[in-house]
Chains A and B, each alone.
Chain A
Amino acid sequence: MNGVHAIAAERFADRVEAECLTALPLGAYARAEEVRYLFLAASGPYALAHPREAEAPLRAVSGTFPLFSWDEREMAQEWGVRFDALPDARPLRGTAGEMPPAIVAQGAGLMRFVVGPVHAGINEPGRFTFSSGGETIVHLDAQLSYAHRGVERHVEGLGALQAAPLVARICGSCSAARSFAYARALEQLAGIELAREVELARLVLAEFERIYNHLGDLAASAAGAGWGPGFASGMALKERAIRLCRLAGGHRLLFDAIVPGGVGAQTLRERPRIARELADLARDIEAYLTRLFAQSSTVARWQRAGVVSRESAHAFGAVGPAHRASRGEIDVRTFAPYGAYREFAVRIAHASGGDSFGRLRVKRDEIRESLRLIGAALAEIGDAALPDPQPMAVPAGDATAVVEGPRGSEVVALHTGGDGILTRLHVISASYRNWPLVARAMDGNIVPDFPLVNKSFNLCYACADR
């Protein structure tokens, strides 16, 4: 199934729920004319849509699949979509500096405490309201939106090509993945195909982003379990990976490395040096991964911490390593392959325990696979020149693209009017998808495990808040 399918209001929620059982639900968004619930099938993304002119209230799907809770709250708050039976009817975001009240557990012997929005380390802002009985967490309400800048409204009215540097700066941690999805959506709309070398170069950049993110997550998780050397070594390796990003893509965090129509001018210029430093880094990463996972006291803290069952992962729509650590099968790179991923058999990492250990094992194995993929792609590119970005005319229309970022599916849905002007941009980040699950992963865990469980996901705030 591809494209956009209009469904009548009275059958809409039933159809969405049925679709959740057969395809990967990505999320939902509204614009003035309609609401769209997005799914991914092997053939690509598609939408179930409901036109808004009737303005009959829709039954909230989040009553059945909590994965849509944030999407439906956001649609209600920002776009005035009316829902029947919204289980959590609070606004998603704070208004005028005031956050909606947190949900807390009530009962004898329970206490509650609030962490954030300012955190002890150098972190993004979020408010975590814990209800606990002694050490045991009974409920956690994670409230974000402190980094909400209004990016989607801000780019409305800009030329779709001119907005690309802004899209790259929605979130610093998954910039390449988002630029990749944004570029693919525009290229699909314009009907252009890229040279094979360019697709291979994009794969290299996207995998470098995965490596530096996962290294940082492993390091932070070592710190969360109290092992300083694992943190220090991991952060040094992350720095080396980031320097390789600079060398391979012209920017330490790969901003503007992937652009509509191709890749940035700085991409893969010094290939012999990249290959040499990559080989050195790969050797040291392997030594680190071996040492880290042999550190039994650290690994013991990760095991059985923050367990997400396969059922919870499905109900909450977990994506990326969080999905694959709970026996999930889907990685967009193989489920709905795009670009150069069509020509490589990516070995997908899995774990079955659904705990922090499982998520970190998936990330460990993904680092290894990313290193292999980069090596293979660089070998394929060889000395071939990378052409300048392909010029394109963006017609009026709409397109959705999905790529596998470090944290899972990164979705960009865009609508354009005449002259290639953006009339609506919606971003569904893997972090937005996974955040509600972090809170549920803490149920029944002890308070001191929150940092390491949180870091085993290590989600972004900026792309969730937008």
Chain B
Amino acid sequence: MKRETFRKSLGVRHVACGSCNGCEHEMNALSNAFYDITQDGYDIVASPRHADIVTVTGPMTPAMRAAARETLDAVPRPRIVVAIGDCAAGEGPWSGAPSAGPGAGIELQATITVRGCPPTPEEIRAALKSLPLSS
């Protein structure tokens, strides 16, 4: 029998892994009065302990690698990693730069990826709502 793993209340923790801040502007916009994802049951949380979803951005720089991994390890299971933006997908403008990694979403094995440079708040919200939340 299918069971709802996540119930109408999802904590989202964000980790920037060398992004340009463009994706962060759009992630922050999700909380403004125009998008207000709290109405859809999403809450941007301060602690990874409170998170169900981890959004990641950026190409993954060497400096962020350990911190991103530790943050992810602090998130209880089940959890979902969502890659936001072309950099996290490994196909952004800095792909191949000397201190750019494979993409935060590639390295942290994101379940879904929202493409765009940056993706719009509508696109991010639609992706969050499309997540497979049942196990």
Contacts and interface: CB of A to CB of B under 8 A. Distances in A.
Interface of A: 93-94, 96-97, 99, 117-118, 120-125, 145-151, 153-154, 165-166, 169-173, 175, 232, 235-236, 238-239, 242, 252-253, 255, 460-462
B46 to A, nearest CB: 4
Given A151-B94, A239-B34, A118 B24 contact: no
Given A117-B63, A117-B64, A239-B32, A166 B93 contact: yes
Contacts of A146: 18, 61, 63-64, 67
A154 B20 contact: no
Contact of A149 (B15, B68, B99, B117): B99
B1 interface: no
A257 to B, nearest CB: 13
B28 A122 contact: yes
Contacts of B21: 124, 171-173, 460-462
A125 B62 CA distance: 13
Nearest to B96: A154
Contacts of B97: 149-151, 153-154
B44 interface: yes
A173 B23 CA distance: 10
Given A117-B67, A124-B21, A154-B97, 20 more contacts: A99-B63, A121-B44, A123-B16, A125-B63, A146-B64, A148-B61, A149-B59, A149-B97, A149-B99, A150-B94, A150-B99, A150-B100, A169-B22, A172-B22, A235-B29, A239-B29, A239-B32, A242-B29, A460-B21, A462-B19
Interface in B11-57: 14-29, 31-34, 44, 46-47
B112 to A, nearest CB: 18
B64 A236 contact: no
A170 B27 contact: no
A451 to B, nearest CB: 12
A124 B99 CA distance: 17
Contact of B100 (A120, A121, A149, A232): A149
Contact of A172 (B25, B29, B47): B25
Contacts, number: 132
B99 A148 contact: yes
Contacts of A123: 16, 24
B94 A118 contact: no
Contact of B94 (A120, A121, A149, A255): A149
B62 to A, nearest CB: 5
B93 A236 contact: no
A236 B63 contact: no
Given A94-B63, A125-B64, A172-B118, A149 B18 contact: yes
Interface in B92-116: 92-94, 96-100
A122 B67 CA distance: 15
| Across the A-B interface, the 8 shortest Cβ-Cβ residue pairs | A172-B22, A150-B98, A154-B97, A120-B46, A150-B99, A172-B21, A172-B20, A235-B32
A397 to B, nearest CB: 25
Given A150-B98, A151-B94, A169 B64 contact: no
B41 to A, nearest CB: 18
Contacts of A242: 25, 29
A460 B47 CA distance: 23
B38 to A, nearest CB: 12
Contact of B98 (A96, A153, A170, A173): A153
Q: B28, B58, B65, B66: which has the most chain A beta carbons within 10 Å?
A: B28
A208 to B, nearest CB: 14
A460 B27 CA distance: 16
28 contacts: A94-B62, A94-B63, A96-B62, A118-B15, A118-B67, A121-B28, A121-B46, A122-B14, A122-B28, A123-B24, A125-B16, A125-B67, A146-B18, A146-B63, A147-B58, A148-B63, A149-B59, A149-B94, A149-B98, A150-B97, A169-B20, A169-B93, A171-B20, A235-B28, A235-B33, A236-B32, A236-B34, A239-B34
